[in-house]
Structure 1
Amino acid sequence: MFGFLFRTIGLVLLVASFVALIADGVRSVAAERLVLTPLGATWYALDPSSLGLAQAVVQRYVAAFVWDPVIQTVLLWPTFAVGGVFALLLMALGRRRRPRRVEA
């Protein structure tokens, strides 16, 4: 059950990461230089209020130092790279295990 869910979410996230990679490629060709959209900019463009809410929740309930050096650094990484890594991680967590052969 959870394996199917992880694989499905991972596949959707992988497709979204590929779309972000294509968008960055198109922007790079148009600008005639390398353009990589940071995850924070993508998140802010999609839903700015949730980004502020996530910051408040992490700083209040987890720890302030987790937001400032850790999450802010990840938010500066390219969207396609972060999404691709999380997609592959979810797909690996949800992969089907092969039955073990017992040889006598």
Structure 2
Amino acid sequence: MLRFFLRLLSLAVLTMAVMAATLDVIQSVASSEPVFTPLAVTWSAASPESLAFVADTIMNRLHPKLWDPVALWLLSQPASVVLLGVSLLLWMAGYRRHRPAGRFTA
């Protein structure tokens, strides 16, 4: 059941990544130059409350040094690339390797 949930979540994140990439392509064609929207801009446009909540949680409950170099670097990366990476990690966590010869082989 957990593997199914992880694969379903991976599909949802992959869909968001494709949507973010599509918006970047549309903006790039319209402006005749490459446009890559950072994750922070996309996230704050979609849900600024959750971005503030995550920032507060990392700074106060985890470690403040995680916010400055790690989270700010991640938030400055293109949204489509970060979401593709998250989708890949979720898919890998939910992946089940099939046994080639059967159940009782060594």
Please indicate, yes or no, whether the TM-score normalized by the shorter chain is above 0.5: yes
* TM-score, scaled relative to structure 1: 0.93
Give 2:70's aligned residue. Answer: 70
Give 2:10's aligned residue. Answer: 10
Residue 54 of structure 1 and its aligned partner are, at CA, apart by 1.2
Distance 2:35 2:12 in 1: 23
Q: Return 5+ residue gaps in structure 2 as ranges.
A: none
Aligned residues: 103
* TM-score, scaled relative to structure 2: 0.91
Code of the residue aligned with 2:56 in structure 1: it is A
Query: What per-residue deviation string (whole Å, max 9, x for no partner) do you get for residues 64-87 of structure 1?
Result: 110011000000000000000110
Give 2:42's aligned residue. Answer: 42
Code of the residue aligned with 1:59 in structure 2: it is M
Code of the residue aligned with 2:36 in structure 1: it is L
Q: Return 5+ residue gaps in structure 1 as ranges.
A: none
SS in 2 for 1:37: coil
Give 1:32's aligned residue. Answer: 32
Sequence identity percentage: 32
Let me know the Cα RMSD of the aligned residues.
Answer: 1.2
Structure 1 residue ranges, 4+ long, deviating more than 3 angstroms after superposition: none
SS in 1 for 2:98: coil
